[in-house]
């Protein structure tokens, strides 16, 4: 949770903690984490929003219409990196991006989420989200480049000595907690080495990595999704919120699953969330409703992967859910079956499936004005352009599989 620090308190903490360098962090449109490092002598000027740079840094590509933009640090995000030396320490501040006139820059992902949060607040709602993030731990080669080699052969929730990532996860949790994060749990996932690559599907034939979003809306201190007298113990708000997410799920896939590689994870099997549907038990649906009720009542959006820009994903997610409530978008019947065989899945995918490729997802995003509005016209236009070019580059490449499959036969 963001702390209510003032700029003056940040300056005081930096002096008291012997901070020498501050990383001004921000996220570009495509979700890449960026930063500009300054010395503590420049901190006061930075807190006043006087650090200027070129808009191409956040656009995701270099065009011919760059403009001057400014970083505006959020004082509440000031944290000292616990893994760096305490003498001459390094701290961070997460920044909004402003236009020269002081208004939010159209390409600022953080501002897109703030807009969506403001819409929710105006309706009396607060979104609470917990991210369940999966990733891989791989060796690097002699040149320091990442490989797909792991010495870990563990599986789901295994322990050491089989799980060789246990100590690494322990260090991650302790460091994150020291930086103010609330960590619910950590465990080994299904694939070997899967616990640090956030690529959605780095290995053929093994499970990919997702970023499940556990979420609920709260109103006046109460969980608005809970209703013991409602169908499945859920309120009308929860049902309509689910309906809104499902109505916009195919367009949201371009944001939730933003890489060509993302769709190698979304294959028709019992654990891949490929059906635009909801269930309490079935893992093939994009939305699952865990059994907890009361304060624990929530839904889980399961198709996003860790390559997504979290600001844009949450902005689109919240906008779709709120639209569902406003429009009383009743969801389709709940999928009751726990397991669907491959044949049934492929049949359902034809009419109820997520997009099967980035190119298809971009077509849905281009046709969905509500999701584009959640991103803002500037981000939506740049995102569609950059991702469209990425898809075309992929389409133009001849891949190893094609050579192995066709070269000697045709």
Q: Are residues 233 and 366 in the same domain?
A: yes
Residue 114, classed as helix, strand or coil, is: helix
Same domain, residue pair 287 and 182: no
Instruction: Decide: 132 and 212 in contact? Cβ < 8 Å.
Output: yes
- Mean pLDDT within 149-164: 55
Q: What is the pLDDT of residue 3?
A: 65
Q: Which residues contact 106 (CB under 8 A, 6 or more apart)?
A: 99, 376, 377, 378, 379
The DSSP line for 213-238 is EEEEEEETTEETTB-TTSGGGB-HHH
Residue ending a domain, among 172, 197, 222, is 197
Q: Supply the angle between the helices 249-256 and 236-247 in degrees, to the nearest 10.
A: 70
Q: Are 48 and 127 found together in one domain?
A: no
Asked whether residue 154 is domain-assigned, the answer is yes
Distance CA 267, CA 269 (A): 6
Give the number of domains in the chain. 3
What per-residue confidence (pLDDT) applies to 163? 53
- Cβ 289 vs Cβ 343: under 8 Å: no
pLDDT digits (tens, 9 = 90+) for 372-386: 999 999 999 999 999
Q: Which residues pair with 128 in a beta bridge?
A: 216
Model's pTM, two decimal places? 0.85
Look at residue 2 and tell me if it is in a domain: no
153, 173, 197 - which closes a domain = 197
**pLDDT exceeds cutoff 70 at 2:** no
Answer whether residue 202 is part of any domain.
Answer: no
189 with 228, same domain: the answer is: no
Asked if residue 219 and residue 350 are part of one domain, the reply reads: yes
Range of the domain at 169: 136-197
Structural domain includes residue 315: yes
CB contact set of 182 (below 8 Å; sequence gap of 6+) = none
In-domain check, residue 383: yes
Kindly report the CATH number assigned to the domain that includes residue 247: 3.30.590.10
CB 190 within 8 A of CB 154: no
User: Do 375 and 391 fall into the same domain?
Assistant: yes
Is there a single domain that holds both residue 311 and residue 173? no
**CATH number of the domain bearing residue 46:** 3.10.20.70
Burial of 266 (0-12, 13-18, 19+ CB in 10 A): buried
CA 374/CA 119 separation, integer angstroms: 10
Same domain, 289 and 140: no
In a domain, 54, yes or no: yes
Question: Whole-angstrom Cα distance, residue 113 to residue 135?
Answer: 24
Residue 396 lies in a domain: yes
pLDDT band at 253 (very low <50, low <70, confident <90, very high): very high
Q: Is residue 1 part of a domain?
A: no
Question: What is the mean pLDDT of the segment spanning 387-397?
Answer: 97
User: Based on the domain organization, do 192 and 214 belong to the same domain?
Assistant: no
> 233 and 275: one domain?
yes
Per-residue pLDDT of 271-310, as tens digits, reads 789 999 999 988 889 999 998 999 999 999 999 999 999 9
Q: What is the pLDDT of residues 235-245, one digit of tens each?
A: 999 999 999 99
Helices (H), 141-199: 166-178
Residues 140 and 281 in one domain: no
Cis peptide before 161 (omega within 30 of 0): yes
Query: In 3D, which of 31, 40, 37, 104 has the Cα closest to residue 72?
Result: 104
Q: Are residues 176 and 301 in the same domain?
A: no
CA distances, 195 to each of 136, 187, 318 (Å)? 5, 7, 28
């Amino acid at each position: 949770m963001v702390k209510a620090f003032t700029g003056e308190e940040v300056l005081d903490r930096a002096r008291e903690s012997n901070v020498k360098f501050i990383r001004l962090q921000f996220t570009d449109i495509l979700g890449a984490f960026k930063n500009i490092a300054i010395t503590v002598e420049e901190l006061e000027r930075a807190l006043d929003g006087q650090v200027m740079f070129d808009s191409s840094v956040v656009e995701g590509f270099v065009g011919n219409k760059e403009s001057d933009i400014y970083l505006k640090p959020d004082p509440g995000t000031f944290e000292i990196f616990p893994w760096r030396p305490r003498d001459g320490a390094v701290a961070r501040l997460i920044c909004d991006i402003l236009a020269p006139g002081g208004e939010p820059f159209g390409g600022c992902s953080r501002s897109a989420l703030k807009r969506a949060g403001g819409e929710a607040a105006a309706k009396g709602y607060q979104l609470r989200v917990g991210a369940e993030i999966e990733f891989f731990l791989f060796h690097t080669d002699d040149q320091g480049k990442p490989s797909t080699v792991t010495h870990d052969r563990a599986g789901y929730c295994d322990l050491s000595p089989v799980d060789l990532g246990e100590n690494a996860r322990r260090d991650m949790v302790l460091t994150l907690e020291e930086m103010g994060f609330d960590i619910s749990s950590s465990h080994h996932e299904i694939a070997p080495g899967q616990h640090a690559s956030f690529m959605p599907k780095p290995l053929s034939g093994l499970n990919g990595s997702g970023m499940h979003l556990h979420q609920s809306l709260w109103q006046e201190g109460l969980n608005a999704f809970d209703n013991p007298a409602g169908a499945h113990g859920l309120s009308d708000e929860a049902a309509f919120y689910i309906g809104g997410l499902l109505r916009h799920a195919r367009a949201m896939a371009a944001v939730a699953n933003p890489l060509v590689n993302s769709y190698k994870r979304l294959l028709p099997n019992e654990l891949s969330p490929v059906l635009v549907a909801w269930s309490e038990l079935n893992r093939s649906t994009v939305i699952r409703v865990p059994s907890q009720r009361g304060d624990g009542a929530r839904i889980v959006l399961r198709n996003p992967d860790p390559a997504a820009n979290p600001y844009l994903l949450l902005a689109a997610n919240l906008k779709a859910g709120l639209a569902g409530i406003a429009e009383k978008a009743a969801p389709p019947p709940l999928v009751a079956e726990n397991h669907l065989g491959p044949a049934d899945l492929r049949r359902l995918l034809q009419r109820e499936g997520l997009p099967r490729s980035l190119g298809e997802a971009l077509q849905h995003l281009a046709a969905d004005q509500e999701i584009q509005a959640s991103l803002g016209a500037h981000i939506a236009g740049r995102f569609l352009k950059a991702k469209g070019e990425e898809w075309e580059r992929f389409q133009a490449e001849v891949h190893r599989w094609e050579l192995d499959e066709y070269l000697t036969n045709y």
